[in-house]
Amino acid sequence: MSDRTPVEYLVLTAGGGASAVPAALAAEVGLEAGQLAALIELVEDRLVLPAASGPRRLVVARLAAALTGPGAPSAVDRCFEAGLRLGAVAGGGRIWVADGVELSDPERDALWRGAYLGAQRPAAPVPEPVGSARNVRERDALSPEHPAPVEGSGASASGRPTFADGSEPPQLTTARAEAAAWVRELAERPANRLGPAEFAREIAAFAASAGRGLAVEVWSLADAEQRGFGAVAAVGGGSSRPPLVVRLSWGDDAAPTAGVLGLVGKGITFDSGGVNLKRDAGELAWMKSDMAAAAAVAAGLTLASAHAEPPTGRRVEAILPLCDNALSGSSMRPGDVIAHPGGETTEIVDTDCEGRLVLGDGISWCRSREYGRILDAGTLTDGGAGLRRTGLWSNDAGLARELAELGDAAADPLWPLPLPYGEEALESRVAGQRNAPMDRPDVGRHAAAFLAEIAGDTPWAHYDIGGTAYMEHPIAGWPEGPTGSATVAIAEAVRAWMRS
């Protein structure tokens, strides 16, 4: 069957039979609605129909049944999952919905994005032979002054889905899908093809091509150390690839500090664990994706900049620490004490808890500059909320509710979790706090507590995408691999800040 064979997508309800097949779809393939319904009941999710105009591929997905438990997938989530399942079979189909089903605008958005991302196949560029012209160019162009992205980046979806009624998805819908696709592409890129310098170039190129009014700076290790980023220097110190910090800024440069939203994203381009070396080969195999949060923050801000007008007195600044956590003679060690930009100190007791260290630098930077709100994202633990919702911790209940509502409405769901008030698992005799507990297993609440201590009284929230950024096994329409989680939720948080 040719890849150019026209594709029709059909979405049916969970318990409804194929009798709800649209008559217009049946007519397209020269059948009565009842005849097409009978074929669907026999063949289930995919079939080829010999229409008069040529063969058509029909791909069918049923909306998952509605559940009522806490955190159960919403109608928007179920539409997104159905879209993923459609796109996974074939890209570029026309979307039909069962007769009698009326989708809201957010549900249509989620269905279209799911179909687009389901058809995407994130993959690494084919490496060039050592010594080739391109290989030499890339080797010699690793400085921040060379913003050209590595060829082959970006979405690879085979055709865009369309709606059978002829309507086009809003520009925001397509931009959301493209931003998440960019994150997925980078998170699947092998670490030998995406170090800190290459990652910085990709961010700069995406901000320039997909954003509007974004200023990009790339700080070298010396620049970062001069600004007090002790964790970035420590975490990146064990690698032959020097760490960098990318700073993105958008909005009113004259905004008061209270009008600035600070974003921070963890960009560990490979995490070996350092001296506390990881032992699980399965986990190590996907540590190339430990930079997914920095990509999500960059993509989220870029997406927001293209679809919102920055008002007077409002600005957003993103701090993205990019580095390897490698093992060598110059690696950080358990027992080391580091300082953050605002003067806070941390005792390192586990070098494999490095993500919270570099996030701590970014949060400390934002707090010391008295920004009005701070949001950070990282792949720190298992996420705390399973594989379908990103765990969310905050020191402000109202902020947590606002962010959760924004994420849920955009099919990028979050689940607020409580900080471990009174647990006191991170006390240190030699520094402000330890980066991990010594007497109990380290989990998401401890990472959040560490970051909350640095955020202090500034309204702050932490997205832990450790459970949602990269799937080790297929789930809810996602195949094994990266998802782009939190990208749209962060974009919506930025847009809300600009409206407030």
Active site residues: 278, 356
Compute how many other C-beta atoms are within 10 angstroms of the C-beta atom of residue 127: 12
User: How far apart, in whole angstroms, are the C-alpha atoms of residue 33 and residue 42?
Assistant: 14
Q: Dmax of the chain from CA atoms? A: 79
Distance from chain centroid for Cα 480: 15
What residue type is 274 in one-letter code? Answer: G
Helix, strand, or coil (residue 453): helix
Provide the Cα torsion 437, 441, 442, 445; round to 10°: -100
CA-to-CA separations, 277 to 50, 196, 354, 449, in angstroms, rounded: 57, 21, 12, 24
Single out the residue of 342, 345, 346 nearest to residue 319, CA to CA: 342
Residue where the block lists tokens 């591929």: 57
Strand partners, 389: none
User: How far apart, in whole angstroms, are the C-alpha atoms of residue 276 and residue 349?
Assistant: 9
Q: How many CA atoms lie within 13 A of 2 on its CB side?
A: 6
Supply 430's token pair.
């030699």
Supply 337's token pair.
């004490």
